[in-house]
Amino acid sequence: MSSNKLRVRRSFIFTPGLKPEMFPKAIESGADMVCIELEDGIALKDKNDARNNTLNALKMLKIKEDVELVVRVNCQRTKHGLLDLEAFASSKINIGAIMLPKVKTPDEIKFIDDLLTDCNLDTDLHVIMETNEALECIYDIAHASKRTVALYFGGVDMAAELRCEHKWENLVYARSKLVHAGASIGVDVIDVPYLDLENMDGMKKEAELAKNLGFTGKGSIHPKQIGILNEVFTPSKEEISHAKKIVDQFNESNTGLVVIDGKLIEKPVLREMQRKILIAEKINKNY
């Protein structure tokens, strides 16, 4: 994964594409990623307006350097999904990233990669796993395009697909498969938002479980959740110090591995160390 795709992705928040006046507030919310919503959060009758409003707003929107802006389009197997892709591909706006919902096969990702390449767009892909088909082949989906920079767990739809209650213990297998796929290509893996706004302790506990499982961030449904999420997914001072030590050793070494504190460290570890350092740099910049 190229270094320019490495970003801080501890938290994200959605903002409705129908209401571009809300975009600046979302950008100032403290979330590492802001996702403009054109899919589930928009009624069918409003899809065209949301798309047009978003395109017009993006022409003038001021985006902070340390906030990643993503647009969640409609499912690529639907009319509005195809209209979204065509509109963005034909616009003169080089949108940094699009989020793909309800993915089922690697071929869908390859199709969109080809489309973006044909339009000379350097757009990143954020891919959501929320269907049974995606659960079955998420490893291949992850490897389908070098544009993919983050994988997301769509827990609510996944629970419905699996015919189980949306509880942590029921979805550990699905989450683990996503983490495995993300680790195999060295990208961020983002957990589903916690839906109970009145239970901040519960959200923090679930975020910690997700981090321990291998997730690098988690979504939010309200700005008041973001501070806790950023805190949970921020490495400790000791972790950051260790990461800097490893990166420095690799920079001084001409080989693909180094020995630090008696332990063999190979190059795939480097990406995770660089991610931790990026988080530290963002914290120091903002505070």
Same-domain check for residues 241 and 173: no
Q: How far is CA 164 from the centre of its chain?
A: 25
* Half-sphere exposure of residue 199: CA atoms within 13 angstroms, side-chain side: 9
Q: Looking at 232, 250, 275, which one is the last position of a domain? A: 232
Are 121 and 252 in the same domain?
Answer: no
Pair (81, 214) in one structural domain:
yes
* 282: containing domain: 237-286
User: pTM of the prediction?
Assistant: 0.92
Domain total of the chain: 2
pLDDT digits (tens, 9 = 90+) for 42-90: 999 999 999 999 999 999 998 888 999 999 999 999 999 999 999 999 9
Residue 26: which of 39, 10, 8, 13 has the closest Cα? 13
Q: Are residues 198 and 253 in the same domain?
A: no
d(CA 87, CA 51): 8
Pair 25, 160 in one domain: yes
Q: Which of 168, 99, 183 is nearest to 138 (CA)?
A: 183
SS (H, E, C) 44-67: HHHHHHHHHHHHHHHCCCCCCCCC
pLDDT digits (tens, 9 = 90+) for 132-144: 999 999 999 999 9
List pLDDT tens digits, range 77-119.
999 999 999 999 999 888 899 999 999 999 999 999 999 999 9
Q: Are 265 and 252 in contact (CB under 8 A)?
A: no
CB 41 within 8 A of CB 14: yes
Query: What CATH number is given to the structural domain containing 156?
Result: 3.20.20.60
State how beta strands 11-16 and 33-37 pair. parallel
Phi-psi map region of 163: left, alpha, beta (phi>0 left; psi -120 to 50 alpha): left
